Structure 1
Amino acid sequence: MVEQKKNIELSIVIPCLNEAETIEICIKKAKNSLIENNISGEVVVGDNGSTDGSIEICQRNGAQVVHIDKKGYGAALMGAIEASKGKFIIMGDADDSYDFSNLMPFVLKLREGDDLVMGNRFKGGIEKGAMPFLHKYLGNPVLSFIGRLFFKIKIRDFHCGLRGFKKESIQKLELRTTGMEFASEMIVKASIFKLKITEVPTILSKDGRSRPPHLRTWRDGWRHLKFLLMYSPKWLFFYPGLILFLISTILFVIISMNPIHANKLTFDLHTLTYCGAGMVLSYQMLSFSYLSTIYAINQGLIPIKKSFLNIFSFFNLEKGVLTGLFIFVVGFYLSLDLFLNWRQDDYGRITDLSASFRILIPSIVMIIIGIQTIFLSFLSSIIGTIQNVKFLDGV
């Protein structure tokens, strides 16, 4: 038997949860592919608690069954991958929608040195009725575009379930998600850690099961999108925060000196107040970006970049606290000056509210941002010191 060879080159991994209708044909196609192409390999099924006879079918057809107690698509795959013995792994669903009889394009790319080989269903072909309308024209294109935009990944089919990879390379990524977003995590972290990724065409056939799939369009789509945002502090916090900060600051500076008149419109104190709020909010977003990047580096989610390391080294606790104190003192001085002027008027009614508020609002904004800067400096220092030695090793 092909599986009994000492050095296993390829493990074909299939997650399973009550797939009695289609699991047998998937295993047979996979095993025939190994035999026909003279590949030393095995078929490993990660069972997630099947009760419909799937386990017995797998065993009867010579597949290794790994029992995974933790529920979820990702959990089943991670358990099966861990138990597999192959140098290379090809994973695919158990619904007979992916062609396990045509795996050589993946194997050849892996042999050439690629770390992750993605199937591309849009290039290979999608049978009529194989992919729901929303998935084909909205979900997959949009999420794939976001993946390419956020992480500079050149692949066109971000969510193809048929993919091959070097076991050693993927294990170094320390994948953690247990649900459907496992597929996104693999690609994102492979890109972040500079693994070699490529695509090959593959055909998507109609689901061979009579029951609905485990995939839930909106729930799982949101989980994928949420994952992409969480792994990209730049797009979640930094870019929106930077744009809001620039717009708010520019308008804030202009209006704090004089109102803006545009035809019949006048942008004055109310706009100045909103711009001040925009500055505070955007500063918080930029702070979140900075802190989440430190945390992600400490947790091994993203690698350390020299540019960020230089920023972290330069803006240390002392410099951050001094900067925050300076901003706070300037804001406090402006407020104190207003108070002294009010006292000179015997605490009476302020006659020139416009001039007063043009000093009051900037002073409040500076006091808030100054205090936030002080606390940001302490918190970033705490995270950088306590969370993990990995981050400070490079400082």
Structure 2
Amino acid sequence: MTTPAPSDVELTILMPCLNEVETLEVCIRKAQGFLERSGIRGEILISDNGSTDGSQALAEGLGARVSHAPRRGYGAALINGIETARGRYIIMADADDSYDFENLEPFVERLRAGADLVMGNRFRGGIEPGAMPPLHKYLGNPVLSFIGELFFKPGIRDFHCGLRGFNRARIRQLDLQTTGMEFASEMVVRASLARFRIEEVPTTLKKDGRSRPPHLRSWHDGWRHLRFLLLFAPRWLFVYPGLVAFFFGAIAVGVLSFGGVRIGDVGFDVTTMVYASALCVIGFQSLLFFWLTKLYATQEGFLPTSERYRRIVAKWSAERGLLIGVGLFFLGIVIGIVQVALWGNLDFGAQNAAQAVRIAVPSALLIILGFQTAMMSFFSGVLTTPRREQRPEAVIES
């Protein structure tokens, strides 16, 4: 197979590789067959992740190009491959002979038609018996794909299919960072947040040809994918549960401040009030975490900013937050002073315990919320302080 000049390459078929000598040859030959049959000007690129079984020499002997990833990890290998690829388009898949390198035409057609990212869907194309563990097939992939679609709405049903094609220039704009298995999620999440055109085509999955266990660790890597999805969806992680907890707790405290409430045979009084105030504080903290996370993530370029968010940030200032916090704090102090005055009317003797708690809880709640608001405002001021993009290297004189 004649290797095209770098400027003539339309498609790079990229395979990350870590000790895949058992299956690498068949994958390369299938990919070569596809390029020859389709007439596409392309290359086969092996991004090696530190193989010690001779995979590199095997690939080069078959006419594939080998690039050595400087860091270990699935994502690191793919980032290296994307950076060193010559093709306008890239189709990536594992080198374990589980994905179909012979039928890549649907991916190329969608890419040529303007799609930025084309995902394979193994559930629509067919999964060979034994190709996917039941835990992945019936729990892991469906659940993570559902969560990914719910949070980011990329319009796909197989969030973690390893066979995918993309426009190299567009994906490089995303500046993908994760070096582990989360890379598969990061690509889809960042493309969705950037409003890239994402499409999906059926593909097949068969049992891989390796005799050794796969690199994937089900529970460990599944949790890493879920954690990544949550971190890139701060509304679902912080805002929605925070709002529910805050308002439910605040309303309960407000209602119970005027007396106990009975619903059927169940009574709610000051004990419920104490726990409701704790729920309110938890919810408020969750909302503060969202604000600080959003500030940091947008400052560092992890998350995009909407026009509404920019307007809110422009109107918000550390000073305004500080004033609100101080106001809440002193309102709580005033309520506490009123309670002390009422206690003084009793010559500082015994009080009605329920009535004392009814006043003390709102006072303590406002003091806590005010203090948290003030501290958050100081911290947000640190995050939004204007600074130079890059700190110059220190000059050391000898």
* TM-score of the aligned structures, taking structure 2 as reference length: 0.95
RMSD: 1.4
Between 194-203 and 66-75, report the one with greater CA deviation: 66-75
> C-alpha displacement at 1:320, in angstroms?
1.1
Deviation, 1:386, is 4.9
Query: Which residue does 1:370 correspond to in 2?
Result: 370
Number of equivalent positions:
389
Secondary structure of the 2:90 match is: strand
Deviations 1:96-128 (A, max 9, x none): 000111111101100000000000001111111
Q: Deviations over 1:41-99 (max 9, x none)?
A: 11111111111111111010111111123111000111111111111000000000001
Conserved in 2, the CA contact under 8 Å of 1:20 and 1:54? yes
| 1:361 is aligned to 2:353 | no
The residue aligned with 2:151 is: 150
Tell me the SS of whatever aligns to 1:258: coil
Secondary structure of the structure 1 residue equivalent to 2:141: helix
8 Å Cα contact 1:299-1:388 kept in structure 2: no
Q: Which residue of 2 aligns with 1:302?
A: 303
Matches of 1:115 and 1:290 in 2, distance apart?
31
Aligned to 2:82: 81
107-116 vs 321-330, which moves further: 321-330
Q: Which moved more, 1:358-367 or 1:341-350?
A: 341-350
Pairing 1:17–2:18 present: yes
CA distance in 2, matches of 1:229, 1:342: 49
> 5 Å matches for 1:27-42?
27-42=28-43
- Give the 3 Å change call, closer, same or farther, for CA 250–389 of structure 1 in structure 2: farther
Per-residue deviation, 1:387: 7.1
Task: Work out the CA distance in 1 between the residues paired with 2:162 and 2:204.
Answer: 11
- 1:191 aligned to 2:192? yes
Give SS of 1:3's match: coil
Partner residue in 1 for 2:382:
382
Equivalent residue, structure 2, for 1:281: 282
Instruction: Give the percent of matched residue pairs that are identical in Structure 1 and Structure 2.
Output: 50
SS at match of 1:128: coil
Aligned partners of 1:365 and 1:381: how far apart in 2? 24
User: Cα 1:2–1:257, aligned 2, differ >3 Å: closer, same or farther?
Assistant: farther
Structural mapping, 1:35-74, within 5 Å: 35-74=36-75
> 1:371–1:154: structure 2 CA closer, same or farther, 3 Å change rule?
same
2:239 maps to 238
Relative distance call for 1:388 and 1:293 in structure 2 (3 A) is: farther
Which residue matches 1:327? 328
In structure 1, runs of 5+ residues without a counterpart are: 391-395
User: 2:135: which partner in 1?
Assistant: 134
Q: Distance in 1 between matches of 2:362 and 2:389?
A: 40
Contact preservation (8 Å) 1:32, 1:101? yes
* Alpha-carbon distance between aligned partners in 2 of 1:138 and 1:388, rounded to the nearest angstrom: 46
Q: Equivalent residue for 1:97?
A: 98
- Structure 2 counterpart of 1:108: 109
For 2:178, the equivalent position in structure 1 comes to 177
Shift of residue 226, structure 1, vs aligned partner:
0.7
Higher mean C-alpha displacement, 4-13 vs 19-28 = 4-13
Quote how far apart the aligned CAs of 1:340 are: 2.3
Q: State the secondary structure of the residue aligned to 1:11.
A: strand
**Gap change, CA 1:369 and 1:387, over 3 Å in 2:** farther
Q: 1:262 and 1:205 mapped to 2: Cα distance?
A: 58
> Which stretch shifts more, 237-246 or 138-147?
237-246
Tell me how far 1:388 sits from its aligned partner. Answer: 7.6
Q: CA deviation at 1:385?
A: 2.0
